[in-house]
Amino acid sequence: MRVYSIFRSFDGESNGFSGPGESTTFVRLAGCNLVTDTNPGCVGCDTKYAQDADAGREMSVTEVLDRIHTNKITITGGEPLLQWSEGDQNLEMLVDKLVKERKKITIETNGSMALPHKGRKGLRFIVDWKLPSSGQETQNLMDNIYLMDVRDVFKFVVRDRKDFDRATQIIRGMLSGRKKAKVSIGCIWNELDLQTLWTWVQEEKLDVQLNIQLHKMVWGDDSNKVEDDVGKV
């Protein structure tokens, strides 16, 4: 599989398990399906370096496993599900090995591809539900609402009030009354402050988890540089 970086750190955001601060190994896969000749991808994408399917290098499942020394693993991208069943060394094989070792696994996805759940114990999905300011709202795959369960997390990343109002609409509409995934809401670093966001949440009486970006609080705008320093494969 095509891997951009592997590095040991902590989860900065909701992870479906203990949440921000949990020790983890990040495995960042290369390539993003939202970036095409006609689509520049998400406005404000903070992992542009992993958008290119040729970024990083090819690694076998064994090579990746050899670099994991934590009980928790966070698989991210780019869009990691692009490589779920692609090739003879793919993400599904890696996940199945990790499940066998009873690891805790989070896959962070942009929500445009169907979740391959199949009831694997220890595997949770964080689905980034795209809001208007991302420019990618039409890419949300509605069926994922029915594929997610109580172990998974819907993540809303809010830039402005318009984004917040759309998130509220979805939480009260499509997500209400279902035996559903957890819902977390956070804001874009340096563009909206958590206090304002949480005031809106309180006013609207939303029953959601505040998603902080702990890695930004620790590393600030250097968090990507830290990844390159320690993790680039």
Residue number, 32 or 201, with CB nearest to ligand SF4: 32
Residue 51's CB: how many other CB atoms inside 10 A? 21
Contact 15, 24 (CB under 8 A): yes
Amino acid at residue number 56: G
Q: Is the peptide bond before 78 cis (omega within 30 degrees of 0)?
A: yes
- Here the tokens at position 100 are 């066998």
Shortest reach from residue 79's CB to ligand SF4, in Å: 6
Cα–Cα distance between 105 and 74 in angstroms, integer?
A: 6
Contact residue for ligand SF4 among 1, 27, 34, 201 (CB under 6 A): 34
Does 31 help bind ligand SF4 (rule: CB under 6 A)?
no
Shortest reach from residue 109's CB to ligand SF4, in Å: 8
Please, which residues have CB within 8 angstroms of residue 33's CB and are 6 or more apart in sequence?
Answer: 79, 82, 110, 112, 113
Nearest CA to 30 among 46, 48, 8, 52? 52
- Here the tokens at position 24 are 């983890």
Binding mask 170-209 for ligand SF4 (x = CB under 6 A): ----------------------------------------
- Here the tokens at position 15 are 């992870």
Binding mask 89-118 for ligand SF4 (x = CB under 6 A): ---------------------x--------
Residue number, 79 or 122, with CB nearest to ligand SF4: 79
Shortest reach from residue 40's CB to ligand SF4, in Å: 8
Does 32 help bind ligand SF4 (rule: CB under 6 A)?
yes
- Here the tokens at position 49 are 């370096």
Cα–Cα distance between 35 and 23 in angstroms, integer?
A: 30
Does 27 help bind ligand SF4 (rule: CB under 6 A)?
no
Binding part of the chain for ligand SF4, among 77-85, 163-171, 177-185, 190-198 by CB under 6 A, reads 77-85
Contact 5, 208 (CB under 8 A): no
Region 37-76 residues binding ligand SF4, contact defined as CB under 6 A? 41-42, 45, 47, 51
Shortest reach from residue 216's CB to ligand SF4, in Å: 15
Residue numbers at the binding site for ligand SF4 (CB under 6 A): 32, 34-35, 41-42, 45, 47, 51, 77-79, 110
